[in-house]
Amino acid sequence: MDRTPLGKLAARARADRPAPVDVRGPVLAALAQRRAPQRDRTLLLFAAGSLAAAALVALVALPELSALQDPLAGMFSALDGVPR
Amino acid sequence: MNAVLAPPLPWFALIDAAAHAALPRLAAVRAAPREAAVADEADLSDVQATLGGDGAAFARVVGRHQQDVARQMARFTRDQATLEQLVQDTFIEAWQGLAGWSGRSPLGAWLRTIATRVGYRFWRTRARDRRLQDQDDPALAEALARAAAAPGALEPLDAAELLHAVLARLSPRDRLVLTLLYWEGCSVEDAAQRTGWSRALVKVQAFRARRRLEKLLPPGLRPEGR
């Protein structure tokens, strides 16, 4: 127990009681508005599935793409002999 | 009132991995013999329920502890609206860190540490916004002189107002350590726990704060070493 004058003043001040508060409603409302960063498992699964499908399509399409010929190549091949 | 306390709480579905990790720990504390677990059973069960997604349980936690937190916050502000805001901030911060409560110490003590942090942050923000109050306030000097003559004769409300006005002239760090040691009546150990400072730092800070406070007080009210 502090017997100094400041200690006595503080002891008197400690007996002060603030007006009752009820912050339950505001606290819950504030928490409801907060959007904690969440990882949506459904969205993650969907994204992973899409990525896998895209990789599969790319795997099949790339060899086909390289084998593709220019459809107009035949038409212009005749012009190859024309002197410029 | 009940309508307020039981809103739809989709946000409690946002329990993260830390909360899931905390649940078995709290269950173990609850299952331990009572003399081993310091935390109140109602707090333990409500925190567990909150971490499990029960919003009404957190409302019960707030209801049980809000007056204690408000009493502590009255040391940080004398404005009722600001006080309520600080109490709210304390519980919001507590909710965010609820998974970090061990359950092996009283929830009230854990909340007091958070409240100290919230209040100190409030002071620091205010100190940045405006410089410390005018050092030459004749009304305050007169009130201090009266208090020095008979410090025990003041009404608690007047004593609180006066102490708040005096400590408001110090920097946030000085103010915090003297508020905890004098107004809250904390031991050095408690003050260290609340502030996160070492015991040595609390003692040094208190010594320096007393020295600075001496210059602001009339002789009859000057603090002496504790």
**What's residue B152's pLDDT?**
66
Give the chain B residue whose CA is nearest to the CA of A28: B59
**In whole angstroms, how far apart are CA B110 and each of A73, B44, B98, B113?**
79, 13, 10, 5
B126 C-beta neighbours (distance < 10 Å), count: 15
pLDDT in tens, B43-59: 999 998 988 888 899 99
Tell me if chain A has a CB within 8 Å of the CB of B98: no
HSE-up of B171 (CA within 13 Å, CB side)? 9
Note whether A32 contacts B220, CB cutoff 8 Å: no
Closest by CA to B82, choosing from A47, A72, A23, is: A23
**What's residue A39's pLDDT?**
62
pLDDT in tens, B26-45: 777 776 665 555 678 899 99
Structure tokens at B154: 């003041």
Mean pLDDT of B56-79: 95
Mean pLDDT of B60-68: 96
Give the chain B residue whose CA is nearest to the CA of A32: B11
For chains A and B, count residue pairs whose Cβ atoms are closer than 8 Å.
130
Split at pLDDT 50, 70, 90, the class of B25 is: confident
Could you give the ipTM of this predicted complex?
Answer: 0.73
Answer yes or no: are the C-beta atoms of B161 and B78 closer than 8 Å: yes
Tell me if chain A has a CB within 8 Å of the CB of B211: no
Could you give the CA distance from residue B194 to residue B84 in angstroms, rounded to a whole number? Answer: 20
Low-confidence stretches of chain A (pLDDT < 70) are 1-3, 35-40, 78, 80-84
Note whether B182 contacts A34, CB cutoff 8 Å: no
Note whether B160 contacts A35, CB cutoff 8 Å: no
The residue among B6 and B202 whose pLDDT is bigger is B202
Question: What's the whole-number average pLDDT of chain B?
Answer: 82
Report phi then psi at A12, rounded to 5.
-65, -40
How far is it between the farthest Cα atoms of chain B?
60
Angle value at C-alpha A19, between B142 and B137, nearest 5 degrees: 20
Structure tokens at B116: 């100290």
**In whole angstroms, how far apart are CA B170 and each of A59, B70, B78, B145, B197?**
71, 22, 16, 19, 19
- In chain B, positions 164-183, which contact chain A (CB-CB < 8 Å)? 164, 182-183
Contacts of A29 in chain B (CB under 8 A): 7
The residue among B83, B92, B146 with the most chain A CBs within 10 A of its CB, best to mutate, is: B92
**What's residue B154's pLDDT?**
82
B130 C-beta neighbours (distance < 10 Å), count: 7
Contacts of B217 in chain A (CB under 8 A): 6
pTM for the model: 0.70
